[in-house]
């Protein structure tokens, strides 16, 4: 079986993050590493961060704003 490499770099090398800002708690939210197109490498995330990412995606418009891609400082 051939493995197809992901276009998204592993978490430690990610230069961008996908940020879901909280609609009700300013300054809070969920941020996950991604590539410049906003694609997240799920295999590189910890179980906890993966669950937070899926939860934030499911709650867009209710608990979180639409995500934005930001460069990591």
Instruction: Give residue-wise pLDDT tens across range 14-65.
Output: 699 999 999 999 999 999 999 999 999 999 999 999 999 999 999 999 999 9
Output the pTM of the full model: 0.78
Is pLDDT of 73 > 60? yes
Q: What pLDDT does residue 67 have?
A: 97
- Per-residue model confidence (pLDDT) at position 9: 44
Asked whether the beta carbons of 24 and 8 are under 8 A apart, the reply is no
Query: How far is the C-alpha of 31 from the C-alpha of 28, rounded, in Å?
Result: 10
The residue whose two tokens read 């590493």 is: 33
- CA 21 to centroid of chain Cα atoms: 11
d(CA 44, CA 1): 20
């Amino acid at each position: 079986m051939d493995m197809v490499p992901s276009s998204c770099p592993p978490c430690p090398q990610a230069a961008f993050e996908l940020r879901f800002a909280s609609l009700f708690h300013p300054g809070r939210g969920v941020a996950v590493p991604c590539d410049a197109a906003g694609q997240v490498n799920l295999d590189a995330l910890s179980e906890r961060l993966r669950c937070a990412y899926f939860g934030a995606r499911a709650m867009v418009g209710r608990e979180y704003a639409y995500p934005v891609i930001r460069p990591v400082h």
